[in-house]
Structure 1
């Protein structure tokens, strides 16, 4: 007579054993930019570090904006169209100032839903008004792969 179903002696994982919060998967060591930096410097860093954008912070590490490849491309396009030099432009003139953040205690699946709803590539996370980290779509993918290895079939 064969065995119909075998689950083994493995104990099921408790929800508390599996990290599900954004803060468990967010990147804490970030490449940040200053509002006074030139856009050319930003472009060089984006290329060097192979990132698509990053938070803009002031001297107190408070989030004041976010700048992306798209913002830089828009600047290049406009400056070429109007035949303006690139080197005079500052990050503060081209960054997005109204930045949506998410809570580090948010469930990663809720964060994934928020990425889909807002069409954003990254969300900064603040703690006590200071930039604590950032979660990207890639971080969500990494989290799901890690979770799958723990408790998905």
Structure 2
């Protein structure tokens, strides 16, 4: 006597095809608000508020990534200036930015990028190609990608 399966056939199941974009470069933001190392922190804070972003890449004149500045970095500067009763006019991005920036490859699978976000506790990753900043992927971009892929892979 043979073994019977109690699982019914899976009808209407869609498969992921080659035309479904799965790479980080398909979902990354390419029109970025960037900052220069010599900019004053107050100007950065104004930009963060105006554009409703939580941070951005810092680039040099060749569009090479040299750091990242975030709301948290700005808050640290405000706190230190207030604590030491110092003016903020002298504070530049270069003094506050994170210089050791972790990047990801634009060819990375979107789900691998999601795992990297979970491991690192970062809100954004810049994408660099040939030494130049070409884009940035955020946690929100990953969520948008997941919702687009939902119809192709999830039920």
Same-fold status (TM-score > 0.5): yes
Normalised by the size of structure 2, how large is the TM-score? 0.91
Partner residue, 1:86: 88
Cα deviation for residue 87 of structure 1 reads 1.2
Segments of 5+ residues of structure 1 without an aligned counterpart are: none
Normalised by the size of structure 1, how large is the TM-score? 0.92
Query: How far apart, in 2, do the equivalents of 1:137 and 1:102 lie?
Result: 13
Query: How far apart, in 2, do the equivalents of 1:6 and 1:16 lie?
Result: 21
Partner residue, 1:32: 34
Q: Is residue 16–residue 152 contact of structure 2 (8 Å, CA) maintained in 1?
A: no
Partner residue, 2:5: none
Please give the root-mean-square deviation of Cα atoms over the aligned residues, in Å. 1.5
Cα deviation for residue 76 of structure 1 reads 0.1
1:74 aligns with 2:79: no
Q: Is residue 16–residue 153 contact of structure 2 (8 Å, CA) maintained in 1?
A: no
CA deviation profile, 1:50-70 (whole Å, cap 9, x unmatched): 000000000000000000000
Partner residue, 1:105: 107
For 2:11, which of 7, 11, 33 is the aligned residue?
7
Runs of 4+ with deviation above 6 angstroms: none
Q: Secondary structure of the residue that 2:18 maps to in structure 1?
A: helix
Q: Secondary structure of the residue that 1:16 maps to in structure 2?
A: coil
Segments of 5+ residues of structure 2 without an aligned counterpart are: 1-7
